[in-house]
Amino acid sequence: MDRFQHYIDGEFHTASAHFASLDPATGQPWAEMPDASAADVNRAVEAAHRAFLGRAWSGLTASARGKLLMRLADLVQAAAPRLAALETRDTGKIIRETSAQIAYVAEYYRYYAGLADKIEGAHLPIDKPDMEVWLRREPVGVVAAIVPWNSQLFLSAVKVGPALAAGCTVVLKASEDGPAPLLEFAKLVHEAGFPPGVVNVLTGGPEAGKALTTHPKVAHIAFTGGPETARHIVRASAENLSKTSLELGGKSPFIVFDDADLDSAANAQVAGIFAATGQSCVAGSRHLVQRTVKDAMLARLKAKAEAVTIGAPDQMTTEVGPLCTRRQRDRIQALVDASIAAGARLVTGGKTPEGPGFYYPPTILDCTDAPHAPAVQQECFGPVLSVVAFDTEEQALEMANDTAYGLASGVFTRSLTRAHRMIRGIRAGIVWVNTYRAVSPIAPFGGHGLSGHGREGGMAAALDYTTVKTVWLRTSDDPIPDPFVMR
């Protein structure tokens, strides 16, 4: 089997312990991954801290940092086929998506390369005539970037890109589920010429995660994952008061009014729930449809779900591949079964297939008579769509906001005024109107509630990795007046 290495302080290291990574299409081991110990994590953080203070990185101009990021972007684009094949092998995500997504990831690094020398301070028109006061934006320090297995090149780019642009250093921890593409990405960091310690890449289980999030030299923890893990991270960060930014997924409403283009809405809903086998934080898993067109939408969605090509993830014809892990498939089956027991009607799918691999079919549940079924309330993280009918716009808005999450949402209507009312009323960090699952490095991404806090993408992300220093310069040559009075 292939054996991967950690990347710490500019060098590749063979770990003292390894674990087998399973191919989700077969359920069989295909590679050995390094299992970071607390000592490995400490070495990585110490290296990042030295690099942050060292002149090889801190002495670079912002423009020079941008050029390194631009070099990294070019390398990512050139290596996209190799990275995509690794992600498909290690996570089961279909090759037609990993290929396109990783090629686009290069644009995120290009965006932050261009932004590196646009992070500006400010001059303050202070109310004291003998003072000049200005603000400097400076990097916060060592960033712990913790990403899950799904869309990991993208989810690391929206952390690593802005952190490096701001002048921080990074310890990037890949999920122990499917870490191969990020461990391979470390080779591109090395080739791009970043000074040793600026970017460190490792993977491992709870021991590594705890060591990283409690380390006293970590200034900022950027995490994507689930709320339960996030709660542990927040508790761990309290000891050192590390800053946190959390992107925790969602239970996103996909709202279709009776004046919508139903064919377009159906296509977008397929993209929103069955693409990536539903393993997406912005999955439009709650289909809220106006009752007058519910039957028409259900017919379209059922036909499309049953026409999806399920197969090996490394084939370009495949549209839905396996789930990443067996435990996730088992959890989804339990949620579907519990929802049916709670009154949901199975429209299609809903049964784990026989054979190897962690496959699960596109599944639709009509939950109109069971609006509080588990599949409606809980993030499934799989190809499961819950359909609930509504009658009025007010009811649709109430149902859309009836969740502890607040990441994404979709609205399909031809009415411009209704679209604006829904945009104002929906409590979510993203509202897509007559489209779904669109992203750009220019647009901030994030939510609130159980979907977390902080933003990734855009200028907002780069500023999040900075701290403001206020500088006071006295311009008078006269002696300082009464030293016992603040002035």
Provide the annotated active-site residues: 247
Are 92 and 323 within 8 A, CB to CB? yes
Find the angle CA(21)-CA(27)-CA(28) to the nearest 5 degrees. 60
Using only C-alpha atoms, what is the Rg of the chain? 24
**Taking the mean position of all CA atoms in its chain, how far away is CA 266?**
25
What tokens appear for 391 in the block? 């009658």
Residue 448's contacts (CB-CB under 8 Å, 6 or more residues apart) are 406, 427, 429
Burial of 133: CB neighbours in 10 Å, binned 0-12, 13-18, 19+: middle
Are 397 and 426 within 8 A, CB to CB? yes
Q: Which residue has the tokens 């106006």?
A: 290
410-412 vs 432-433, strand pairing mode: parallel
Q: What is the DSSP letter of 456?
A: B
Q: How far apart (Å, rounded) are the C-alpha atoms in residues 74 and 110?
A: 8
What tokens appear for 283 in the block? 């999955």
Residue 59's contacts (CB-CB under 8 Å, 6 or more residues apart) are none
Are 459 and 449 within 8 A, CB to CB? no
Are 321 and 23 within 8 A, CB to CB? no
Q: How far apart (Å, rounded) are the C-alpha atoms in residues 194 and 286?
A: 44
Cβ of 94: how many Cβ atoms within 10 Å? 27
User: Which amino acid is residue 432, in one-letter code?
Assistant: W
Q: How far apart (Å, rounded) are the C-alpha atoms in residues 432 and 411?
A: 6
